[in-house]
Structure 1
Amino acid sequence: MEGTAVNWVLLRDGAALTLIDAGWSGDTPRVEASIRALGCHPSGVQAILLTHAHLDHMGAINHFHEKYGTPVFMSTADAAHARSGDLEQARPGDIIKRCVRPRCMRWTARIIGAGALKPVTIPHATSYPRAGALDLPGAPVPIACSGHTSGHSAFHIPDKRVLITGDALVTGHSLSPITGPQLLPPFFTHHPDEAHTALRILADIDADWIVPGHGFPWRGTPTAAVELARRNAAVTNTL
């Protein structure tokens, strides 16, 4: 499901759901609407899984926790950042100096309207309750792939042959002139060198679909997606 230039994912088992990522704070009504569009109720979300603690993925989490008691799980490293609000993300200055480009100006206006200037902390952020497949709808398997943040996770859905990559590997972004598998521009990434290393981890996952945090789902193996992302780095590294 797409919000304001960012995606979230719903895994369904009957009326029970797992929500992966939660958009900007201004996307909260869209997150609820996407659940109702499946014929489900937001209270049916058994847990929210967070790929990483950035504002464009955290927005609806506190709403779900306060209204429905929904727990949230993420890596230990990113849970600490979510609780403190000290997020490993691009700073306003990183954005402002790129706003000479019309593409960036339009994107910046959109995300400000969606809550980009609104701080979010998640006091109830919790580490994954177990290793391996989680006992949640879809049985997602967290895959540690730090780089974009210190504790970034992807999620593998083996029986559906799907890899949910968050921001470790995307297929588009409002600032990017290209589509297809790619890394985000380095200024979005806390450890750019590690982000390139994380591609090796993703390449080894057995899947037929990539579902990213930004851009459209992409059909193909992670190995092929990683190869394309490495080629496209010549473009994304200049943004």
Structure 2
Amino acid sequence: MIVPRSKFQITRVDAGSSTAYLVHSDAVNWILLQEGSDITLIDGGYPGQASAVEESIRHIGARPEDIRGALLTHAHVDHLGGLATLQARYGFDVYMDPVEVAHAKREYLQQAGPADIVPIAYKPRVIRWLALVTPLGVLSRKGIPEAKPFPEPLDLPGRPVPVAAHGHTDGHSAYLAADGAVLVSGDALVSGHPISAIAGPQCISNAFQHDVDTARRTVEAFADLDATTLFPGHGPQYDGGVATAARRALEVS
């Protein structure tokens, strides 16, 4: 199912008593896992997209107050920004790979800065991307002071399972959802990006990678997964199998 919206599109994968939704926007994606009336939110867009995240939750018949906990793939502003706003507003816990906690608290920052962007800033696609994301809060340095490592066990609606996916940041995490049918890949593996001319599975631009070699090894590991659907951090849902997506990304990136 594809639901067109002014700010986003929603696609879904059903698995038993739960449903996984990819909310795809031109700037970045976030994911909703719904089980009964309860919601797990994975990532939350830019700071300026917090209201769009709320709207997407209402669109699937739930309320932001139904969020029982959130997961973060990594602490870049386009994934953490809206989540920080919503966590402060609704008070749910936000969990992530233990390595990423200090990053989310902004004790340090592993994020593309001017030195990374200036060399490519002349490109038309980069200019358009900057025009898109600057009003959304790309320059924000706000973190999540209450960021927490995964609890043991991780018991959240939709039963997400963390998958170590380091490289894009030191503590980047992917998640298996929908009984293992869906890989929520964050920026470890994407299916498009505003600055990329490639359509389909790919590794995100090296300008955004903290550790390119480790990030490629993560994608190599994805080639061993059985998940059939990719919910990426950027780009549309990909249904050709995650292993196939990973191999194609390594070929073109």
TM-score range, shorter chain: over 0.9
Match of 2:51 among 13, 29, 33: 29
More strand by proportion, 1 or 2? 2
Aligned mates of 2:123, 2:35 — CA distance in 1: 44
Counterpart pick for 1:96 among 118, 125, 145: 118
Contact 2:33 2:40 in 1 (8 A): yes
Q: Which runs of 5+ in 1 are unaligned?
A: 234-239
Choose from 219, 225, 230 the match for 1:210: 230
User: Shift in Å at residue 124 of structure 1?
Assistant: 0.3
Q: Is the 8 A contact 2:106 2:141 kept in 1?
A: no
Amino acid at match of 1:73: Y
SS in 2 for 1:66: helix
Counterpart residue type for residue 130 of structure 2? T
RMSD: 1.3
- SS of equivalent to 2:120: coil
Aligned residues: 231
Give, in whole Å, the separation in 2 of the partners of 1:26 and 1:223: 34
Where do residues 134-145 of structure 1 align in structure 2 (5 Å cutoff)?
A: 134-145=154-165
Question: Contact conserved, 2:45 with 2:78, CA < 8 A, in 1?
Answer: yes
Deviations 1:183-230 (A, max 9, x none): 011121000000111112212222110110000010122221111001
Counterpart Cα distance in 1 of 2:134 and 2:86? 22
Question: Aligned residue for 2:73?
Answer: 51
- What is the CA–CA distance in structure 1 between the aligned matches of 2:208 and 2:84, rounded to whole Å? 24
The match for 2:145 is: 123
What CA distance in whole angstroms lies between the structure 2 residues aligned with 1:23 and 1:208?
A: 24
**What letter is aligned with 1:102?**
P
Shift of 1:85: 4.7
Paired letter, 2:126: C
Match of 1:199 in 2: 219
For residues 113 and 139 of structure 1, what CA distance do their matches in structure 2 show? 34
1:4 shift after superposition: 4.9
Structure 2, unpaired ranges of 5+: 1-22
Matched residues in 1 for 2:176 and 2:52: separation?
A: 24
Report the CA distance shift for 1:214/1:85 in structure 2 as closer, same or farther (over 3 A). Answer: farther
Q: Following the alignment from structure 2 to structure 1, what is the Cα–Cα distance between the partners of residues 230 and 223?
A: 11
**What is the alpha-carbon distance in structure 1 between the residues aligned to residue 227 and residue 205 of structure 2?**
25
Identity of aligned residues (%): 43
* Aligned partner letter, 1:18: T
Give the TM-score normalised by structure 2.
Answer: 0.88
**Structure 1 moving runs of 4+ over 4 Å:** none
Distance 1:108 1:167, change over 3 A: same
1:173 counterpart residue number: 193
Match of 1:221 in 2: 241
